[in-house]
Structure 1
């Protein structure tokens, strides 16, 4: 069931490796089916390049297994918490991407210093408080920080990105890491300035409504 969504999740996982946002079997990807409300999730500890639709788990919003023989990612509980709280989020990606994770470890937000970050990420990326993986608190802390932006840093851990579908969550993950790298490098040679709020909104609207083939 939900083969198309399963393939989207697998493809996103492969692209995380392609864009060097994860190593080995790190990170995870999930998506919500709009018709059934079911969640499809990558399995725990398996290489993305080897995944087939049969490896992807389907659950309901309470975590009950609907289909699949593999153990889902240990972050399933956190993904489900976010989906239950945010009806407009239908794709979630977790990574430990290098430059963004630097700021998670430094316990700092990532400000918007370029239109590139404003485009898909949409705003300053806030830091959520530390909580153990798989705990109720982890999801609660992330949800507290979700606003107009499409990413949250996890203190001393990594990154969650999300969007209206899996593709948007992936784009946010890629563009956040690229922007975090620019921010990191800029801080080594100077003091970067944040974009004014009106320019952030302008860049985000342009990206959503004008950029690409509509």
Structure 2
């Protein structure tokens, strides 16, 4: 898991989702009440599997030479309250964070949004870093929403997934559609997609699209 989480941080850089040392990826350790997360304030160029830190589900450091990410409490809260989640990502990606600064959900006006997010990308409450408040906001929004992404107001993006890679994919897709919908608004008012079509698109993408194992 250290190797997986370390490698996925390179995807944040490659997809222009982070600046300097901001942002983080975490992954639940299979079969254990533990997760791996990026150390706080360490350059992406200096990240190695050995630099990753291991925490328990209360956010306490269990193993590692560095202090955990400042967002560790939020990740830990998600893992405690959403057992189906095995990966969490946080970014301050430009366009999605601009929507978060407005406190405005990204409306579902693209088929790619219906596919990946099952509707709009919702907004969570404002919360300060350092305790469970951000995690509480993430869970309160996403436990009743199909979206794997939430825009935390005045902050940035948090995404979840059944694996760390899935959470990173959601973060990449969130920024992509945030940019496109922003550009669309410069041209006029985007056209909404009817809910029935959103539901059909979401079902197809989640259950039919891509390669399926032979049974």
Interval containing the TM-score (normalised by the shorter chain)? over 0.9
Q: Does 1:129 align with 2:125?
A: yes
1:13 aligns with: 9
2:187 aligns with: 189
Rounded to whole Å, the distance in 2 between the matches of 1:46 and 1:207 is 37
| 1:26-74 superposed Cα distances (whole Å, 9 cap, x missing partner) | 1011011221131000111112232111111111112232211111100
- Asked if 1 retains the 8 angstrom alpha-carbon contact of 2:39 and 2:51, the reply is yes
The farther-off stretch of 188-197 and 72-81 is 188-197
| 1:73-107 superposed Cα distances (whole Å, 9 cap, x missing partner) | 00000000111111111100000011111110111
Given the alignment, which residue of 21, 27, 30 partners 1:31? 27
1:208 aligns with: 206
Unaligned runs of 5+ in 1: none
1:109 aligns with: 105
Rounded to whole Å, the distance in 1 between the matches of 2:197 and 2:158 is 24
- Asked if 2 retains the 8 angstrom alpha-carbon contact of 1:10 and 1:48, the reply is no
| TM-score, length-scaled by structure 2 | 0.93
User: Please, what is the CA RMSD of the aligned residues?
Assistant: 1.3
Q: Does 1:163 align with 2:152?
A: no
Rounded to whole Å, the distance in 1 between the matches of 2:210 and 2:138 is 31
- Asked if 1 retains the 8 angstrom alpha-carbon contact of 2:89 and 2:159, the reply is yes
- Asked if 1 retains the 8 angstrom alpha-carbon contact of 2:61 and 2:67, the reply is no
- Asked if 2 retains the 8 angstrom alpha-carbon contact of 1:120 and 1:171, the reply is no
Q: CA deviation at 1:156?
A: 0.7
The farther-off stretch of 91-100 and 124-133 is 124-133
State the 4+ residue runs in structure 1 displaced beyond 3 angstroms.
none
| TM-score, length-scaled by structure 1 | 0.93
Unaligned runs of 5+ in 2: none
Rounded to whole Å, the distance in 2 between the matches of 1:194 and 1:45 is 41
